[in-house]
Structure 1
């Protein structure tokens, strides 16, 4: 669910068409929104892979040898 929200926020379809102001660090603010969203997406995927993805096989979990 969180990844879907980050992706939807990262695609600035909800902003007015042709809006380029205000500028943030010399770029339109929608670029900053997209860049922050991309960074947040990468952090969430990394967290999920490191802490939530169980890739151990059942034999490895049981500690059995072949």
Structure 2
């Protein structure tokens, strides 16, 4: 699983998913004055936004861990090559 990491800015699929998650977080698609039904005294849309925020955090964590090319990794790899 030694997959080469790339810059995520060049991956269109990552940006599309990120745009969808941001659309879920923004409450523009809820009807005006929408607050019912209430769950535990909280409007339903608040749970949707909280869930989308957690999804955004998980997705950004995935991008940073598996897709992001860090300069330190390049420098460490070059140093190891120089030592051999």
Give the TM-score category using the shorter length: 0.7 to 0.9
**Alpha-carbon distance in structure 2 between the residues aligned to 1:62 and 1:4:** 38
Q: How many residues align?
A: 66
Counterpart selection for 1:39 from 54, 57, 82: 54
Q: Which moved more, 1:49-58 or 1:28-37?
A: 49-58
Separation in 1 of the partners of 2:78 and 2:38?
A: 53
Partner of 2:3: none
Q: Output the CA distance in 2 between the equivalents of 1:59 and 1:47.
A: 22
Q: What RMSD over aligned residues (CA atoms) do the two structures have, in Å?
A: 2.0
Please list every run of 5 or more consecutive structure 2 residues that lacks an aligned counterpart in the other structure: 1-15
TM-score under structure 1 length normalisation? 0.83
Divergent runs of 4+, >6 A: none
Corresponding residue for residue 60 of structure 1: 77
Q: Distance in 2 between matches of 1:23 and 1:61?
A: 57
Counterpart for residue 17 of structure 1: 32
Question: Gaps (5+ residues) in structure 1?
Answer: none
Larger % of helix: which?
A: 2
